[in-house]
Amino acid sequence: MDVPFLSLKDVTQQHAAEIHEAVNRVVDSGWYLQGKENSAFEAAYASYIGTRHAIGVANGLDALELIFRAYIEMDIMAPGDEVIVPANTYIASILAITANGLVPVLVEPSIETYQMDDSLIEAHITPRTKAIMIVHLYGQCAYTEHVEDLCRNHGLRLIEDNAQAHGCIFQGRRTGSLGEIAGHSFYPGKNLGAFGDAGAVTTSNQALAEMVRMLANYGSKKKYVFERLGRNSRLDEIQAAVLAVKLKYLDADIDLRRSVARSYLDRIDNNLITLPQVLDWKAHVFHIFPVRCARRDDLQKYLENKGIHTLIHYPVPPHKQECYKEWNSINLPITERIHSEVLSLPMSPVLTADQVEFVIKSVNSYG
């Protein structure tokens, strides 16, 4: 049996007619940027997340970069200031910080949840610390009341990287509305994915929203008047139209992911393999279903030979990458252990019961 990690073709097929109609509507309209589709998607997404504003941008990295740029333009942050961030995040979270001349302060995750260990944060706060960026990695909420308290007590901004967790709910509120501002990615493989690159920023802070929107549009609010050194990071009308269709089905898709996760968690039983810990089912949208195994590469090969395609999120942590040579000698043992042991099983709303069954049986027979 062949079990793809994620069949985007099947994901699209679920709503193909509606998506084709949306794409054709844009093609026929003759209007391809900053039009009705953008406004409609932004309104729908802000209402879904529970913020006053959503700003469509070109991709998730831009969303995060624009957030820090906005704080700098508003004199809330300055180059050299520090941002606390989990050490085991995807590199985009870190790039957004360093691209703005800010300094990432890497904090180890918990080996149980893979989220930043909030008991370690306070020791990393210095007079230059301006923000904590939480990352809802793998689709599990990283927000805690302790992080909120730290931000309040130390006067720090709480920023969310919500690239992997659209739809995630913490005590009735969606991730992306828990901090002051959040970056979202609609990369095709994300839970809410476009047909190419796309992203968004959400916030209920009007001044920040206006600044991000202006910076993403050449630093301009009024045509040919440039107030700030901006850039071009806009969401295409075609992508906005596709995303508006897919947003309607996001919660149903997440439920399908949860039922796959439920089967994996209930029925994978192999003492060589550590299953992920779920703190609260509403607060996990299972973008990734990571298991850990000391012989990870061997397990991956074993599953591949059976036709089960897995991925590694991620094989090398940011501080061990060549682009961040200056940190290569830093010791972050939990982060490094996660990167050497973690393996992502097939996970999507379109896996069949037979495929899930086959993955469980195969993982159980490993060893």
Ligand X SMILES: *Cc1c(COP(=O)(O)O)cnc(C)c1O
Cis check: omega of the bond before 32, within 30 degrees of 0: no
**Minimum distance from residue 93 beta carbon to ligand X (Å):** 5
Q: Is 343 helix (H, G, I), strand (E, B) or coil?
A: strand
Of 235 and 356, CB closest to ligand X: 235
Of all residues in this chain, which one has the CB nearest to ligand X in the complex? 60
Q: Give the DSSP letter of residue 108.
A: P
Q: Which residues bind ligand X (CB under 6 A)?
A: 59-61, 89-90, 92-93, 135, 161, 163-164, 185, 187, 197, 199
Give the number of residues written for the chain: 367
To ligand X, the closest distance from the beta carbon of 89 in angstroms equals: 6
In angstroms, give the least distance from the CB of 62 to ligand X. 7
Six-digit token string for 70: 């906005």
Q: Who contacts 188 (Cβ-Cβ below 8 Å, separation ≥6)?
A: 8, 194, 195, 196
| 156 vs 163, beta carbon nearer ligand X | 163
Nearer to ligand X, 54 or 163 (CB): 163
Shortest spacing between CB 199 and ligand X, in angstroms: 5
Place of tokens 């992911």: 257
Kindly tell me which of 163 and 260 has the beta carbon lying closer to ligand X: 163
Helix (H) or strand (E) holding 68: helix 60-73
For ligand X, the closer of residues 197 and 362 by Cβ is 197
Phi, psi dihedral angles at 54 (to 5 degrees): -135, 135
Question: If you search the block for the tokens 């990458």, which residue do you land on?
Answer: 321
Least separation in angstroms between residue 117's CB and ligand X is 17
Per DSSP, what are the bridge partners of residue 113? none
Shortest Cβ 5–ligand X spacing (Å): 15
Nearer to ligand X by Cβ, of 86 and 346: the residue is: 86
Q: Which is nearer to ligand X, 82 or 161 (CB)?
A: 161
Nearest to 133 by CA among 172, 95, 167, 171: 95
Q: How far is the CB of 165 from ligand X (least distance, A)?
A: 9
Query: Judged by CB, which is closer to ligand X: 38, or 164?
Result: 164
Query: How far, in Å, are 51, 139, 175, 301 from residue 239 at the CA level?
Result: 21, 22, 22, 36
Alpha helices in the chain, H assignment, sequence order = 8-13, 16-29, 36-49, 60-73, 91-98, 145-154, 206-216, 237-248, 250-267, 296-305, 333-341, 353-364
Kindly state the tokens that stand for 250.
Answer: 């996001």
Taking the complex as a whole, the smallest distance from the CB of residue 120 to ligand X amounts, in Å, to 19
Q: Which candidate, 115, 284, 129, 282, places its Cα nearest to that of 191?
A: 284
The runs of H, that is alpha helices, within 155-283 are 206-216, 237-248, 250-267
